[in-house]
Structures are given as C-alpha cells and as structure tokens.
Amino acid sequence: MSVRKGCKVSLVRLRLFYFCALGALGGSIPLLAARLDSLGVDARSIGLLMAVLPAGRLVSGPFWGGYADTTGRTRDLLVLGSLVALVGTIALARVDSVPLAALALAAFAIGRAPVGPLVDALAVETLASVGRDRAAYGGIRLWGSVGFLAPREAPGPAPIGPALRALVGRSLVSPRARPAGRSRSACSSR
C-alpha cells in the first residue's frame, strides 16, 4: 500500500494545522483570566465572561456546521473561522473595557466554533482518501496536544503574541480534504 506524494502533504498539513490551532489555544486560554483581571474585572464577572467561550460555540456551531454540510466549502469556512477568531484575539489584546472584552470573546468563540469539528471531519476524510484506517486519526490529533502544551513549556513569559502568530499560521495552513485537483481515487492506494 503506497501513499501518493500529494496526499502525504495533506497529512502533514493536518498535523501542522492541529499543532497551530491548539497551540493558539494553549498560548491564550490559560492567560485569559489574567487578561480580564488586568482590565479590572472582578472574579464573578471573569467567570461570566469565560462562559462566553462555550456559549458562543454552542450557539454558532450548528450554523457553521450546517453551512459546511450544505455548501461543501469546508476549507473556506476553516479559513473564515480562523480569521474571525484572530480578529477576536487581536481585539482582546487591545480592549480596555469589559463590554469590549465581551465582544472580543464572542468573536473569538464564534470564529473558533467550526474549527474543531470541521478539521476533525477533514482528518477522517483525508485518512480514508489515502487508504488509512480511521484509527490513524489519533496519530494526527496528537500534534494538537503537543501544540497545546508547547506555548506553556516554552522558556520565558507566554504573552498573547505567540497565540496571535499561531492563529495566523493556522489560517495559512488550513488543511484541504484532498490536494487541489485530485479526486478521492487519485489519493487512494492501488
């Protein structure tokens, strides 16, 4: 069973995407409460603002997923979601009030909502297209865990800057289910 060169690139891009996407979270989410505290937000309000993250994903996720299923434009939605999350992250680094922080967190949560489920679906689809069993998903997803831990294990302080760079990287290496111009059979083992 051989894997064609163009299909191997898709697997590398998926690993890199997981590394960058979860690296962005690992570099920013643990610092979020401290950022809100620096804005003078009390502990109760920090808890409420942190709840914006799962609430934004819960509310917007089904819309993103439905649109992806209807249009088949998964990669475009990954890029769009990454860019919306990037805008929210940049805004959060620059805001100086609680209402603006809430809007920035909402933008981040709404942009982040489609990324996990869509890239997971692409990973499984890509594995199938190269003739690999779905059990190989763990080997690809492992890179997300490594990426999540990397910013916290890096020497020196972990400012929001590395998270911004990871989000930009994530949007630039957004994976495709198959290399451009290749059909599923072109990537299958023969």
What angle do helix axes 74-94 and 98-112 make, rounded to 10 degrees?
160
End-to-end CA distance of the chain: 7
CA–CA distance, 106 with 114 (Å, rounded to integer) = 14
Least confident of 19-33, 134-148, 162-176: 162-176
Average pLDDT over residues 162-171: 52
Can you spell out the DSSP letters for 19-84?
Answer: HHHHHHHHHHHHHHHHHHHHTT--HHHHHHHHTHHHHHHHHHHHHHHHHHHHH--HHHHHHHHHHH
Kindly report, residue by residue over 78-136, the tens digit of the pLDDT. Answer: 889 889 988 998 898 888 888 898 999 999 999 988 888 888 888 888 888 877 877 78
Average pLDDT over residues 145-151: 83
Banded pLDDT at 186 (limits 50, 70, 90) = very low
Residue 153 reports pLDDT greater than 90 = no
CA–CA distance, 170 with 85 (Å, rounded to integer) = 11
pLDDT at 165: 52
* Mean pLDDT, all residues of the chain: 77
Residue 6 reports pLDDT greater than 60 = no
Length of the chain, please? 190
Banded pLDDT at 47 (limits 50, 70, 90) = very high
Residue 55 reports pLDDT greater than 50 = yes
Residue 36 reports pLDDT greater than 60 = yes
Other CB atoms within 10 A of residue 60 CB:
19
Side chain identity, residue 102: A
Query: What is 5-174's CATH number?
Result: 1.20.1250.20
CA–CA distance, 30 with 102 (Å, rounded to integer) = 17
CA–CA distance, 53 with 113 (Å, rounded to integer) = 9
Residue 190 reports pLDDT greater than 80 = no
pLDDT at 177: 41
